């Protein structure tokens, strides 16, 4: 519990009792995630000695914490933090499990899935690329591959990255079997058990699972409408001395929030000042619907501290399990070793086929098709939400991406809404999936990745009706919203 102790300072001139000062400061540490579930508080005697107060003062502070169920006393063992139980792996639904666990008929309105539906996959062009590879490479396509990746594919993705403004050489590029593997390799290769990873609150569940699986200490930092809260971030950095910060600076999953240029710059500066690495998950930069392209953080990485992850799942085909990392040379070897011990290499056949596909121009064409389709869905969705959601449902319109994050009124629980929506063949992702601890229970994520354009209107009208019903609002209330959203996070 060294973090709690480090923070506690007693003000002798304060009118507040000492036990209240101690109680309040420990409480703050617990609520902010610095003192985590199951951590043991120092014994009464040790704490009293450290703070140079009477043991009764500590007992009173601990009693108050226990009354509020923030800690739990175990006879003969000590006092343990009883707040913020991490979402254990078995409990955690990966986002797409939401849809896997329910039967989806063709009529289901699917706002849950954040991956494109199979009708958007460019099957014919990819088949051509595959056949070309088979004719050209014969059996070589099926041998073990270089663990770093098929060299021509690394060259091709390097070109894509340079197009985005990222400076890199082939030696910085590591091909991976999907972004999820990339996150896992970073957790496995770079984190010692107990080291701290800072993540956004809320964040992507698959990343949290990867960090938990390596016994990392995961501390979440709140998001603001323009990116991570810098004050909270710097506070957490000072308190926890993290090894890693995991962020999605463009169209964050689940909130859709994008960081401002200044915030991106600032977190790069912080990584240099406090000596930690940044893991940038750039899963969706292609889908900007504003005039500004979504610039990766990696572009500004003058200190070479950003590990960049790119998935091919969202803008291509998730089942291929392909992606790439751009890594600072100082960690390249460790990540390569982690890759080798995970799966030796990513499928050679698929790497070759992807390289062919990228070089024929089919990639750009497909990107255009997807962007056009998603743009239409995006604007439809935004319009419907603006016009049909009750005023006390808060949301922030993203500037791109696939996700809309809604905060329901306090009295409305997202699980309850989920159940009644599912009965009417509408599904979405309940917000609970996106928290490492103590979830917000009244947020939901609506995605446009798999829902048909023609279903959006009916879907949002139905959802808004269900919300009104649950809130017992007047159904005839004028649906037009007075004004655009206030910040929600
Ligand atoms: C933010 C984010 N990162 C990574 C992934 C995993 O991507 P992949 O399919 O490439 O493993 C997902 C999948 O939903 C995601 O949403």
Tens digits of residue pLDDT in 250-281: 999 999 999 999 999 999 999 999 999 999 99
Q: Is the CB of 177 under 6 A from ligand 1?
A: no
Question: Are residues 356 and 369 both part of a single domain?
Answer: no
Question: Are residues 189 and 328 both part of a single domain?
Answer: yes
The CATH number linked to 409 is 3.90.1150.10
pLDDT at 127 over 90: yes
Q: Is the residue at 270 inside a domain?
A: yes
Q: Is the CB of 254 under 6 A from ligand 1?
A: no
Using the mean position of ligand 1's atoms as its centre, give its distance from the Cα of residue 205 in Å: 9
Question: Are residues 217 and 289 both part of a single domain?
Answer: yes
Mutate to test the pocket of ligand 1, among 182, 223, 257, 283 (most ligand atoms within 8 A of CB): 283
Q: Please, which pLDDT band fits residue 476 given cuts at 50, 70 and 90? A: low
Mutate to test the pocket of ligand 1, among 185, 200, 203, 206 (most ligand atoms within 8 A of CB): 206
Section 337-353 average pLDDT: 97
Going by their DSSP bridges, the two strands 173-176 and 196-201 should be labelled as unpaired
Which of these three, 338, 361, 384, is where a domain ends?
361
Q: Is the residue at 324 inside a domain?
A: yes
Handedness of CA 376, 483, 385, 286 (dihedral sign): positive
What residues have CB less than 8 Å from 150, skipping those under 6 apart? Answer: 175, 348, 351, 352, 355
Q: Is the residue at 369 inside a domain?
A: yes
Section 234-248 average pLDDT: 96
Q: Please, which pLDDT band fits residue 95 given cuts at 50, 70 and 90? A: low
Section 387-416 average pLDDT: 94
Cα gap 73→451, rounded to integer Å: 49
Q: Specify the pLDDT at position 48.
A: 93
Q: Is the CB of 84 under 6 A from ligand 1?
A: no
Q: Is the CB of 219 under 6 A from ligand 1?
A: no
> For the chain, what is the domain count?
3
The total number of residues written for the chain in this structure: 489
Q: Is the CB of 253 under 6 A from ligand 1?
A: yes
The H or E element spanning position 256 is none
Using the mean position of ligand 1's atoms as its centre, give its distance from the Cα of residue 323 in Å: 10
Cα gap 196→224, rounded to integer Å: 22
Section 214-243 average pLDDT: 96
> And the tokens for 271?
């990584």
Q: Is the CB of 281 under 6 A from ligand 1?
A: yes
pLDDT at 240 over 90: yes
The CATH number linked to 266 is 3.40.640.10
Share of the chain above pLDDT 70, in %: 91
With beta carbons less than 8 A apart as the criterion, state whether 414 and 441 touch.
yes
Question: CA-CA distances (angstroms) from residue 66 to 41, 81, 163?
Answer: 12, 9, 56
Going by their DSSP bridges, the two strands 196-201 and 323-326 should be labelled as unpaired
User: What is the chain's mean pLDDT, rounded?
Assistant: 90
Question: Are residues 350 and 312 both part of a single domain?
Answer: yes
Q: Is the CB of 309 under 6 A from ligand 1?
A: no
What residues have CB less than 8 Å from 303, skipping those under 6 apart? Answer: 268, 271, 272
Question: Are residues 352 and 298 both part of a single domain?
Answer: yes
Q: Specify the pLDDT at position 4.
A: 61
Question: Are residues 417 and 395 both part of a single domain?
Answer: yes
Residue with tokens 């396509």: 141
Instruction: Work out the number of other CB atoms within 10 angstroms of the CB of residue 56.
Output: 11
pLDDT at 478 over 70: no
Q: Specify the pLDDT at position 69.
A: 86
Question: Are residues 108 and 26 both part of a single domain?
Answer: no
The string of pLDDT tens digits covering residues 351-365 is: 999 999 999 989 999
Q: Specify the pLDDT at position 305.
A: 98
Q: Is the residue at 457 inside a domain?
A: yes
DSSP state of 400: B
With beta carbons less than 8 A apart as the criterion, state whether 332 and 149 touch.
no
Q: Please, which pLDDT band fits residue 100 given cuts at 50, 70 and 90? A: low
With beta carbons less than 8 A apart as the criterion, state whether 202 and 192 touch.
no
Question: Are residues 160 and 212 both part of a single domain?
Answer: yes
The string of pLDDT tens digits covering residues 287-339 is: 999 988 899 999 999 999 999 999 999 989 999 999 999 999 999 999 999 99
Report which protein residue has its CA nearest ligand 1's atom 14: 114
Section 195-207 average pLDDT: 97
Q: Is the CB of 401 under 6 A from ligand 1?
A: no
Using the mean position of ligand 1's atoms as its centre, give its distance from the Cα of residue 180 in Å: 6
DSSP state of 288: B
For residue 428, give its domain range: 97-119+365-471
Question: Are residues 77 and 113 both part of a single domain?
Answer: no
Q: Is the residue at 291 inside a domain?
A: yes
Mutate to test the pocket of ligand 1, among 112, 205, 314, 398 (most ligand atoms within 8 A of CB): 314
Q: Specify the pLDDT at position 330.
A: 96
Q: Specify the pLDDT at position 486.
A: 37
**DSSP per-residue letters across 84-107:** -----TTTPPPTTHHHHTS---TT
Q: Please, which pLDDT band fits residue 485 given cuts at 50, 70 and 90? A: very low
Q: Please, which pLDDT band fits residue 484 given cuts at 50, 70 and 90? A: very low
Q: Is the residue at 126 inside a domain?
A: no
Helix segments in 55-204, DSSP class H: 55-67, 97-100, 123-137, 151-163, 179-190
Using the mean position of ligand 1's atoms as its centre, give its distance from the Cα of residue 326 in Å: 16
Helix segments in 164-282, DSSP class H: 179-190, 205-213, 230-240, 261-273
Q: Specify the pLDDT at position 68.
A: 87
> For residue 114, which atom of ligand 1 is closest to its CA?
14
* Residue whose C-alpha is closest to residue 321's, from 273, 353, 297: 353
Q: Is the CB of 178 under 6 A from ligand 1?
A: yes
Question: CA-CA distances (angstroms) from residue 407 to 394, 410, 413, 467?
Answer: 5, 8, 10, 12
Question: Are residues 352 and 320 both part of a single domain?
Answer: yes
The H or E element spanning position 405 is strand 403-407
pLDDT at 154 over 70: yes
* Residue whose C-alpha is closest to residue 176's, from 279, 49, 105, 92: 279
Question: Are residues 387 and 323 both part of a single domain?
Answer: no
Q: Is the CB of 248 under 6 A from ligand 1?
A: yes
> For residue 253, which atom of ligand 1 is closest to its CA?
1
Which of these three, 326, 361, 396, is where a domain ends?
361
Question: CA-CA distances (angstroms) from residue 117 to 113, 319, 434, 449?
Answer: 9, 11, 22, 7
Q: Is the residue at 86 inside a domain?
A: no
Question: Are residues 296 and 322 both part of a single domain?
Answer: yes
Beta strand spans in 193-347 (E): 196-201, 217-224, 227-228, 244-247, 277-281, 306-311, 323-326
* Residue whose C-alpha is closest to residue 270's, from 228, 331, 332, 220: 228
The CATH number linked to 75 is 1.10.10.10
Q: Specify the pLDDT at position 487.
A: 37
Q: Is the CB of 185 under 6 A from ligand 1?
A: no
CA distance from start to end of the chain: 29
Q: Is the residue at 198 inside a domain?
A: yes
* Residue whose C-alpha is closest to residue 50's, from 58, 62, 38: 58
Mutate to test the pocket of ligand 1, among 204, 323, 342, 433 (most ligand atoms within 8 A of CB): 204
Instruction: Return the minimum-mean-pLDDT range out of 89-93, 234-238, 321-325, 356-360.
Output: 89-93
Which of these three, 344, 361, 378, is where a domain ends?
361
């Amino acid at each position: 519990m060294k973090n709690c102790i480090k923070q506690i300072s007693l003000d002798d001139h304060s009118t507040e009792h000492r036990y209240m000062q101690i109680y309040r400061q420990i409480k703050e540490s617990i609520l902010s995630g610095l003192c985590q579930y199951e951590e043991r508080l120092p014994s009464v005697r040790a704490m009293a000695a450290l703070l140079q107060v009477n043991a009764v003062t500590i007992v009173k502070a601990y009693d108050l914490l226990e009354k509020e169920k923030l800690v739990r006393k175990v006879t003969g063992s000590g006092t343990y933090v009883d707040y913020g139980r991490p979402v254990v792996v078995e409990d955690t639904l990966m986002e797409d499990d939401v849809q896997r666990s329910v039967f989806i008929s063709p009529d289901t309105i699917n706002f849950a899935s954040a991956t494109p539906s199979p009708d958007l996959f460019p099957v014919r062009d990819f088949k051509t690329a595959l056949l070309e590879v088979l004719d050209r490479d014969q059996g070589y396509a099926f041998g073990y591959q270089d663990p770093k990746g098929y060299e021509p594919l690394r060259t091709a993705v390097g070109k894509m990255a340079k197009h985005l403004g990222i400076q890199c050489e082939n030696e910085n590029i590591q091909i991976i079997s999907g972004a999820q593997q990339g996150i896992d390799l970073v957790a496995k290769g770079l984190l010692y058990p107990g080291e701290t990873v800072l993540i956004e609150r809320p964040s992507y569940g698959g990343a949290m699972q990867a960090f938990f699986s390596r016994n990392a200490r995961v501390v979440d930092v709140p998001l603001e409408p323009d990116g991570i809260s810098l004050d909270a971030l710097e506070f957490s950095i000072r308190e926890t001395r993290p090894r890693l910060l995991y962020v999605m600076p463009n169209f964050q999953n689940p909130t859709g929030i994008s960081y401002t240029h200044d915030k991106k710059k600032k977190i790069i500066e912080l990584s240099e000042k406090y000596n930690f690495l940044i893991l940038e998950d750039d899963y969706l930069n292609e889908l900007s619907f504003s005039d500004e392209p979504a610039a990766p953080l990696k572009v500004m990485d003058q200190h070479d501290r950003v590990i960049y992850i790119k998935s091919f799942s969202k803008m291509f085909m998730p089942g291929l399990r392909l992606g790439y990392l751009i890594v600072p040379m100082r960690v390249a070897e460790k990540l390569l070793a982690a890759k080798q011990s995970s799966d030796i290499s990513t499928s050679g056949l698929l790497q070759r086929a992807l390289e062919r596909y990228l070089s024929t121009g089919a990639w750009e064409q497909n990107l255009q098709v997807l962007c056009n389709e998603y743009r239409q869905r995006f604007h439809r969705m935004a319009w419907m939400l603006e016009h049909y959601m009750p005023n006390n449902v808060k949301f922030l319109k993203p500037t791109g991406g696939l996700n809309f994050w809604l905060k329901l009124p306090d009295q409305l629980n997202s699980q309850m809404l989920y159940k009644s929506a599912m009965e009417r063949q509408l599904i979405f992702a309940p917000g609970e999936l996106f928290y490492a601890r103590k979830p917000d229970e009244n947020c939901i994520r609506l995605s446009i990745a798999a829902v048909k354009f023609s279903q959006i209107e009916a879907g949002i009208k139905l959802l808004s009706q269900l919300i009104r019903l649950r809130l017992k609002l007047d159904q005839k209330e004028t649906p037009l919203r007075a004004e655009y959203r206030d910040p929600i996070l």
